[in-house]
Structures are given as structure tokens and as C-alpha cells.
Amino acid sequence: MVLSARAYAKINLGLLIHGKRNDGYHEIETVFHHIDLYDEIRLESQDKVSIETDSDDIPSDESNLCWKAVTLLNQMHGTKHGVRVKLKKNIPAGAGLGGGSADAATVLRLLPRLWNISVSDSDLADCAARLGSDVSFFLGATSAHGRGRGDVLEPFRLPLSYAIVVCFPGIHVSTPWAYGQIMKFEEREAGKLRERLQHALTDLRSRCDVVHNDFEEPVFRQYPKLGKLKHSLLEAGAVCASLSGSGSSVYGLFAENTSAMQAALQLRSNRISTFYTPAGFQIPSETVLSVP
Ligand code: C5P
């Protein structure tokens, strides 16, 4: 059997780091939101596990998160199934767009069908959380309020009436490094980000602080080019702009699709990888295809 599906990327609409936990992770709060950028995943039945990819930026051995997803599901189910994974990468790696996590979650979602086994939603969610803090989000939600280490999710519908332009300047930021730079934690009321965001959406221009990302200060200090990129997005007409995750992607929200497209073209001409998502974009509800 052959199955194929799209693995969509995300941005973080606000990212607050509330403190360090006893397990070494950080307690965070964010709103995950899908964008119109995806990797293409194709799974084929075979006896062993193998990964093929068209990207030089990611490994194709056991260290690939998709391979770890296969191993984990086999372990959980007491099986030794194989699979041939083909990854066509469009989401840049180390960009704060969740590419590796989206791919792994999509593999997890497809495997039960490929192997003809039944796996409960809670077992799948457990596997996802063990693979990485933001993998759970990619199991299905289109937008979600994330808490805990990013794995405790409350999905909700976010009809974002702003077009999104995401810029990836080719810098790879290490997430553990970025967390390691956060020394102080601001006293803030936790758990209100979703509510604050929904409230601010009618007048985002004057409420840009709602998409504040705590990683910006240390990441912009280390990579000044990223702070300049945020400024360029604002100059190009973005209503507000922010770093996604721990970077290095920076996104801008635009009131009009046309101004967003113009900004994307302008930034592209400066040789910056730029991805455009129209206002109101929602990922197709069923993106899994069965190829006979
Ligand atoms: O969970 P994930 O593998 O994506 O996390 C990568 C690293 O980022 C962790 O090993 C940890 O150093 C850091 N991290 C953190 N707090 C979080 C998420 C990640 O400190 N909430």
C-alpha cells in the first residue's frame, strides 16, 4: 500500500516563557497557527525502515524524527513493521516553523492505516509528546492554545483575517540554545494568551504586543539580521511582525492579501526565502491520500 499526505508548517502567534520546570523544560504559552506551506510525505509498505529526502539539511537515518516516530509506534504496539518514507521538503529546517515535528506527526497519523493496526488517539498523542514538545499540535489541530512545554493543547478555530508573510533568512537557530538564553521570567498572568489574541484581532495594529515572543530579545541580539528583517516587514506594511518559535523565521501579518503579496515579492528580490499565506487560510480537513 502507498499513502501520501501533506505536513503543514506553523507559526507561533505569541510565545511566552513563564519559567523553568524541574524536568529541565520550560513552561510556555503560545498560539500555534498553520500556514500554507507543507512538506509532502509518502509512505510505502516494505520490510525494513528507510527514509529518502530531497533535502541536504536533514538526516535520513535513525536520527530523523520520522524514523523515531516509526520506532516508537512499533515499540508501543509490540511490532516490527517496516516502511519506506519519502519526504519532499518545502519547510526549511531550523526555521521555527515546526517542519520536522509536522513530518513526524504526519508519519504517526498515517502508520496505523498503512500497517492496518488500531491505535487510540491517546496513544498517538502520547507518542507525539515523547517525540517533541510541538509534535502533538501537528496531529490534527488547525490552531491551538499550547501550554505546558507546548504539548498541552486546546484546539480552537482561529479565522485569521490577516495574510501572513513568513521570511526565512537561511540562519538556523538551535532551540535548546535559545531556551538557554532566557535567564529571567517576567511575572505575567498565565493562560490568557488565546483570549488576549482573540480580543486584539479586531485592531491588531495597536495591539501588536499580543504576538510578543520572549525569544526575540536573545535571538535578535545574536542575529541582528533577524531584527532588521522584522523591521523590513513592518516597513513593507505589516500590521505587526514577530519571530516564529525560536526562529529564525520572522513573519508579518498584513491587512490585505495584495499588500502581503507585494511585500513577499519585494523580500524575495532581496534573496530571502519568503512564504505567503492568504487571509482566512485553513488547511484542508482531510489531507491523507491513498494511492492505489
Ligand atoms: O521537545 P523538543 O525536543 O522539541 O525540545 C528541544 C529542546 O528545547 C529541549 O531539549 C529543551 O532543551 C528545550 N525546550 C525547553 N522547553 C520547552 C520546549 C523545549 O526547554 N517547552
Whose CA is closest to 142, among 6, 256, 258? 6
Please say if the pLDDT value at position 83 is more than 70.
Answer: yes
Q: Which fold has domain 2-156?
A: Ribosomal Protein S5; domain 2 (3.30.230)
28 within ligand 1 shell (Cβ under 6 A): yes
Residue 291's pLDDT band, with cuts at 50, 70 and 90, is: low
Instruction: Give the phi and the psi of residue 189 in degrees, each rounded to 5.
Output: -75, 120
Please say if the pLDDT value at position 37 is more than 70.
Answer: yes
98 within ligand 1 shell (Cβ under 6 A): no
Domain 163-277 -> CATH class: alpha beta
Q: Percentage of residues in the chain with pLDDT exceeding 90?
A: 90
Q: Whose CA is nearest to atom 19 of ligand 1?
A: 25
Q: Whose CA is nearest to atom 21 of ligand 1?
A: 149
Q: Residues 70, 36: contact at Cβ < 8 Å?
A: no
Using the mean position of ligand 1's atoms as its centre, give its distance from the Cα of residue 65 in Å. Answer: 14
Q: At CA 49, angle to CA 46 and CA 55, rounded to 5?
A: 110
Q: What is the pLDDT of residues 240-287, one digit of tens each?
A: 999 999 999 999 999 999 999 999 999 998 889 999 999 999 998 765
Q: Whose CA is nearest to atom 12 of ligand 1?
A: 176
3-state class of 9 per DSSP? strand
pTM of the prediction?
A: 0.96
Q: What is the pLDDT of residues 85-124, one digit of tens each?
A: 999 999 999 999 999 999 999 999 999 999 999 999 999 9
164 half-sphere exposure, CB direction, 13 A CA radius: 26
Catalytic residues, by residue number, are 10, 134
176 within ligand 1 shell (Cβ under 6 A): yes
Dihedral angle, C-alpha 72, 63, 49, 285, nearest 10 °:
70
Arithmetic mean of pLDDT, 10-15: 98
Domain boundaries, the chain: 2-156, 163-277
Q: What is the pLDDT of residues 198-240, one digit of tens each?
A: 999 988 999 999 999 999 999 999 999 999 999 999 999 999 9
Q: What is the pLDDT of residue 292?
A: 54
3-state class of 267 per DSSP? helix
> Is 102 exposed, middle or buried, given 0-12, 13-18 or 19+ CB atoms closer than 10 A?
buried
Mean pLDDT of the chain: 95
